[in-house]
Amino acid sequence: MNFVQILPNSYTEKKLDDMETATIEEQKRWIIKAANSETTSRFFKNWLKNSWAAFLDQLRNAEAPDIIIVLLGYISMHLTFFSLMVSMRKMGSNFWLFGMTLLSSTFAFLFGLIVTTKMGIALDMIILSEGLPFLVVTIGFDKSIILTKAVLSAALRNRRPAPGLLGNNRQPAFESKHVVSSTTIPYAVQLAIEEKGYMIVRDYAIEICILIIGAISGVQGGLQQFCFLAAWILVFDCILLFTFYTAILSIKLEINRINRHVALRQALEDDGINKIVAENVAESEEWPKPSLVGNDMTNIFGRNINNNSVPTFKILMVSGFIVINVFNICTIPFLGGSIDHELSSSIGPMRNSIISGNLSPSIDPFAFTSSGLNSMLESSKSQGRTVVVDIFAPINYELENSSETFGSQSRNVDYPLNLNGKYVNLNEYGISGRVITSFLSSLEDPTLSKWIMLALALSIAINAYLFNAARWSIRHPLHVSSDQNFDPSTIKYHQNEASDVISSSPQKKSQFMETNQPYDNTLQTPINIDDEEEGLEICLSKSKSPSKRTQAQLEMMLKENQASELDDQELIELSLQGKIPGYALEKKLKDTTRAVKIRRAVISRTLTTSQTTGLLEYSKLPYKNYDWDRVLGACCENVIGYMPLPLGVAGPIIIDSQSYFIPMATTEGVLVASTSRGAKAINAGGGAVTVITGDGMTRGPCVSFETLERAGAAKVWLDSEIGQKIITKAFNSTSRFARLQSIKTALAGTYLYPRFKTTTGDAMGMNMISKGVEHALNVMATEAGFEDMQIISVSGNFCTDKKPAAINWIDGRGKSVVAEAIIPKDIVKSVLKSTVDAMVELNISKNLVGSAMAGSIGGFNAHAANIVTAIFLATGQDPAQNVESSNCITLMRNLGGNLQISVSMPSIEVGTLGGGTILEPQGAMLDMLGVRGSHPTHPGENARRLARIIAASVLSGELSLCSALAAGHLVKSHMAHNRSAPITRSNTPAQISTHPSMISTNSMREKH
């Protein structure tokens, strides 16, 4: 109420008397305030002008060495900023981590400045501006960089489950020491703080102690004040580093996770994988997988909290805040009387003086100041010196909204109204009222409101980005097939129904009798017979009623998309009648495992093939406990089961200074053992060394023109710089990962064969390239003036894919790898049981001369295809591409008495995502090699590493087989490992055969 007064308006004195005696119908509310004669822009303009003038004045008075030192300090500070930006860019952040680090440090500076001024420490802005750059250079941003690197490294190290959480003996997540939540982000931050937190806090403590010593040193000239401020800055910087900045790092990790998820899903879709399957695979690649999550615990400040407690706590917090504010608002009307009384008592005396006319006379400012100015003038004349007088801008007071009544609310009124129309001071509510008043008044500040709007916009942008990334998953929920759950009351019925179905068919009954596993009607649990021990179980898994439906009812339910409500026998009958196509069972039933089961029964009971397929329904081919959702639309159609293959591991083998066990799926005995022996010899020589010489998948379409002239013009255009640029731009626009490297063209008559060679990231990439080639050819036809071009085929066998071809051997396809190892001569003798010269001689005569005599293309090796195919089957690669991937030339030579062996494989076609790699068993083998999925930082690195591993494995296989051939151990090893025992003489004499040939042979022996 210091600036609110009841002043007379332009009415007469009589009106004032009437206002005292009568009811006040209208009162004018006057607010005395400093007139804001200058706009905000002009204020800042004047401030900048004055600051620049002060800076120039300081610059003129400063000495040259001081200016140079301060200038060097500012240059060094900006170089520190640049170094911070470069460091953050190396860790995968172009701007945000750099900007947030500077923002965190800025907040620390502001907090430190506020605390220092509140504690009464006088700060000289000149000393502050001179010393701050040196503080930045001295302290730097090493701690933020260290914490950032530790968090990102922890996230990468823990992309895969911990060994203790794998296998059948997996432990719940909450029992593990390090698994703290269902995401890797809290764990990564916690692990990074555990590793680097002590070191960071220790460095902060040492620096703060040094600054405290400077603050109490007693050195004058501003050093004490600056050290005091710097110490507080470091305190707040440490606090913000582990609160504000770690929250930013968590958001960064979440964005990285979303980017990896989207990139993997996009790569799978580019490779031809169904969208639902691609999303399913991308979801499963995230760590941890749903099966590894413990009991829904969240880690807060190192303690495991139930996930349900967090939203409950948030709801209670928000509800409490709302209740308190509603309570404060509701009690405002009850304070009107007391406030009015205080208001009248405070303004009463002044009002009486106004009414009685006892007002102080007006003050003439010129008369008031003239005596002082005259005395100053006389004093200066008498002393003979010049006096400078600063004249400040006058403070103007103006009436604001004089036409508004006291009971109305102006936009500049500081207090709200109660229900009686009286103004209420929220300060009467104590602390809560003052907080609300301060908060409401702060919102009127133009600068603060702009910052609030900026922060709100930034928050909305980040949340929109995160929600947009999850939008696809919400629109396309993953289809998870659940196991069939039986009600105990219906178990008996299911068992009887199965018995009826089996007994109704003599063939099925005989087959059950042959298995020597009779059906037991006394079972008290659902039928759950393993695939390897029993055939197909027939039960009414979905039916709710045992009554048999008519044919019309079955067809009606089928038309109404209620096929999943039918029992197995009804589905089999409809399929045999052709009502349900075999390929559509998964779509109709919405249960892939059940669809496979029904398909097996349908194939087994089809009359035209029952002679050969009748045993399939109860065969040993397994089909249960398999994730068929990943297979559907990605790997195979008309599925009837999966084919188990023996899987072994060779090794360990050292490849590029890292040890690996090599998974090999094969039915050939001795192959894994032989490869392991070669790996042992290679390890004794220090391991294998590999080099990638090329990386590019190819696709060679075939196009045709009417005349040779047009075909030649197209070839010239494709070989030109302009043509290459247009085609490259068109090709690269079709995928985020495929990038065109080169185009090689060949002309045969009017047929033109361009061979596109591209990088495809970690995918093998054939489907990805085909899409790009098709679009590039369309651009060539429509935009490059070749409308008469006819596309014969997207694949014109100029690739060449899945066929032996010299172009793959010469130009390469996929990954081109060379692997080498040096085997000491004593290892050749002790492990390989041969000699260096014998090995070299055998390689020349067999792998080089022998293959040349046979006219081989890329077959200058002993058995590279054996190892390549075994690894392909184990890791989900395309087995048909073994044809070109097995191109290999093996070379050996005597190097100082030791054996130098190398293999050159120019066309290894592999990928670590897409195709068969999305299946869990094959993905587990890629996990064992450390190359599953896309590489988090360098796309394509996982696929290249897999190619290196294959080349080194071929090297070990070649070494072992060639040594066995040189020593003559090949047949003996096969017989000893996976053949019958060597033939020995029988202890009892064999009966003499009466066959004529045997009689003649025996007579000849007797003569001799």
pLDDT of 449 above 70: no
Is there a domain that residue 44 lies in? Answer: no
Distance CA 437, CA 659 (A): 68
In a domain, 420, yes or no: no
Note whether 86 and 221 are same-domain residues: yes
348 or 382, which is more confident?
382
Q: Which of the residues are catalytic? A: 668, 802, 878, 974
How distant, in Å, are the alpha carbons of 215, 218, 1000 from that of 221?
A: 12, 10, 125
pLDDT at 13 over 80: no
pLDDT at 975: 53
Question: Which residue in the block uniquely carries the two structure tokens 């995401």?
Answer: 183
CB 478 within 8 A of CB 283: yes
Buried b / exposed e along 803-836 (16+ C-beta atoms within 10 A): eebebbbebbbbbbbbbbbbbbbebbeebbebbb
Q: List the alpha helices (DSSP H) in 476-562.
A: 488-503, 506-514, 551-559
**pLDDT band with cut points at 50, 70 and 90 for residue 3:** very low
Q: How many CB atoms lie within 10 A of CB 915?
A: 24
Alpha-carbon distance of 671 to 680, in angstroms, equals 14
CA 407 vs CA 24, 28, 126, 300, 334: distances in Å: 12, 9, 51, 52, 17
Domain match, 615 and 542 both = yes
Peptide bond before residue 172 is cis, with ω within 30 degrees of 0: no
Residue 448 has pLDDT above 60, yes or no: yes
Residues 244 and 263 in one domain: yes
Does residue 469 fall inside a structural domain? no
**Predicted pLDDT at 185:** 74
In the block, tokens 């696929």 appear at 943
* 298-303-305 Cα angle (round to 5): 40
pLDDT, tens only, 285-298:
765 444 344 445 55
742-748 — which CB contacts under 8 Å span 24+ positions? 742/696, 743/718, 743/719, 744/811, 745/715, 745/718, 745/719, 746/798, 747/711, 747/712, 747/715
Four-CA torsion 705, 706, 709, 711, nearest 10 degrees: 10
The answer to whether the peptide bond before residue 652 is cis (omega within 30 degrees of 0) is yes
Q: Is 747 in the same domain as 771?
A: yes
CA distances from 561 to 257, 589, 859, 876 (A): 38, 9, 55, 35
3-class DSSP assignment, residue 755:
strand
532 in the same domain as 562: yes
Residue 684 has pLDDT above 90, yes or no: yes
Nearest to 975 by CA among 984, 963, 967, 983: 983
Let me know whether 707 and 689 are in one domain: no
Phi-psi region of 406 (alpha: psi -120 to 50; beta: other; left: phi over 0): alpha
Q: Look at residues 272, 307, 342 and tell me which one is the last residue of a structural domain.
A: 307
The highest-confidence range among 126-130, 456-460, 778-782, 990-994, by mean pLDDT, is 778-782
Nearest to 505 by CA among 554, 580, 569, 593: 569
SS (H, E, C) 251-288: HHHHHHHHHHHHHHHHHHHHCCCCHHHHHHHHHHCCCC
Q: How far is CA 28 from CA 400, 406, 549, in A?
A: 10, 6, 89
pLDDT at 335: 54
Instruction: Say how many domains are in the chain.
Output: 4
Share of the chain above pLDDT 90, in %: 31
| pLDDT the model gives residue 1007 | 42
C-beta separation of 905 from 890 below 8 A: no
Domain holding 208: CATH number? 1.20.1640
Separation between Cα atoms, residue 609 and residue 85, nearest integer Å: 70
Residue 752 has pLDDT above 60, yes or no: yes
Task: Rank 36-45, 127-136, 580-589 by mean pLDDT and report only the highest.
Answer: 580-589
- Which of 821, 963, 1000, 961 lies closest to 899, judged by CA? 821
Question: DSSP string spanning 651-662?
Answer: EEEEETTEEEEE
CA distance linking residue 527 with residue 491, whole number of Å: 8
Q: What whole-number distance in Å separates Cα of residue 771 and Cα of residue 748? A: 24
Residue 339, classed as helix, strand or coil, is helix
Whether 236 has a pLDDT exceeding 70, the answer reads yes
Q: Is residue 554 located within the same domain as residue 613?
A: yes
Tell me which long-range contacts 72-81 makes (C-beta under 8 A, separation of at least 24): 73/130, 73/133, 73/134, 73/137, 74/133, 76/133, 76/134, 76/137, 77/132, 77/133, 77/136, 77/137, 80/136, 80/137, 80/140, 80/141
Are residues 866 and 732 both part of a single domain?
no
Over 70: is that where the pLDDT of 438 sits?
Answer: no
Q: Which two tokens stand for residue 951?
A: 């080349």
CATH number at residue 766: 3.30.70.420
Please give the single-letter amino acid code of residue 967.
A
C-alpha dihedral, 700 to 272 to 935 to 196, nearest 10°:
160
744: part of which helix (H) or strand (E)? strand 739-748
The pLDDT tens digits for 729-745 are: 999 998 888 899 999 99
- Which helix or strand (DSSP H or E) is residue 2 part of? none
Q: Say yes or no: 852 and 877 in one domain.
A: yes
Q: How far apart are CA 579 and CA 595, in angstroms?
A: 15
Q: What is the mean pLDDT of residues 97-121?
A: 88
Q: How confident is the model at residue 709 (pLDDT cuts 50, 70, 90)?
A: very high
The residue type found at 434 is R
> Is the model's pLDDT at 618 over the cut of 70?
yes
57 vs 709, more confident: 709
Q: Stretch 385-391: mean pLDDT, rounded?
A: 73
Which of 581, 604, 631 terminates a domain? The answer is 631
In angstroms, rounded to a whole number, what is the distance separating the alpha carbons of residues 192 and 144? 12
DSSP H stretches of helix in 119-183:
125-139, 142-157
- Phi, psi of 987, rounded to the nearest 5 degrees: -75, -30
Residues 835 and 734 in one domain: no
Residues ≥6 apart with Cβ < 8 Å to 2: none
Classify residue 704 by burial, with Cβ atoms within 10 Å: 0-12, 13-18, 19+.
Answer: middle
Q: How far is CA 957 from CA 671, 827, 901, in A?
A: 8, 16, 12
Average pLDDT of every residue of the chain: 75
Strand 898-908 to 888-895 pairing: antiparallel
Give domain status of residue 24, yes or no. no
Question: In the beta sheet, which residues pair with residue 860?
Answer: 889
- Over the stretch 480-530, which tens digit does the pLDDT of each residue have? 443 444 344 433 444 444 444 444 444 444 443 333 333 333 333 333 334
Q: What is the mean pLDDT of residues 141-159?
A: 83
Select, from the ranges 609-613, 934-938, 942-946, the one with the highest average predicted confidence (pLDDT): 942-946
Measure the CA–CA gap between 942 and 735, rounded to whole angstroms: 19
Mean pLDDT value across residues 761-787: 90
SS3 call for 978: helix
CATH code: domain of residue 962: 3.90.770.10
Q: With respect to residue 801, please indicate whether it lies within any of the assigned structural domains.
A: no
Residues in CB range of 332: below 8 A, 6 or more apart = 416, 418, 424
Residue 31 pLDDT > 60, yes or no?
Answer: no
For the chain, what's the residue count?
Answer: 1008
Positive or negative: CA dihedral 292, 294, 300, 306:
positive
Is 845 among the domain residues?
yes
Q: What integer is the mean pLDDT of 195-207?
A: 90
Quick one: pLDDT at residue 211?
87
28 forms beta bridges with: 405
What angle do helix axes 142-157 and 96-118 make, rounded to 10 degrees?
140
Whether residues 571 and 661 fall in one domain: no
pLDDT the model gives residue 38: 52
Q: Which of 560, 626, 549 is nearest to 595 (CA)?
A: 626
Residue 444: what pLDDT? 60
Assign 446 a pLDDT band (cuts: 50, 70, 90): low
Stretch (H or E) spanning 905: strand 898-908
Q: Is residue 98 part of a domain?
A: yes
Residue 588 contacts by C-beta under 8 Å, 6 or more apart in sequence?
558, 561, 563, 564, 580, 595
The pair phi, psi for residue 36, each rounded to 5°, is -85, 80
Last residue of a domain, one of 279, 307, 335: 307
Q: How remote is the C-alpha of 195 from its chain's centroid?
A: 23
Task: Residue 962: give the domain boundaries.
Answer: 647-695+813-976
Q: Is residue 719 part of a domain?
A: yes
> Is 632 within 8 Å of 274 (Cβ atoms)?
yes
Same domain, 682 and 826: yes
Strand stretches in 171-267, DSSP E: none
Cα-to-chain-centroid distance, residue 509: 54
What Rg, from alpha-carbon coordinates, does the chain have? 43
pLDDT for 814 equals 93
**pLDDT tens-digit series, residues 779-833:** 999 988 899 999 999 999 999 899 989 999 999 999 999 999 999 999 999 999 9
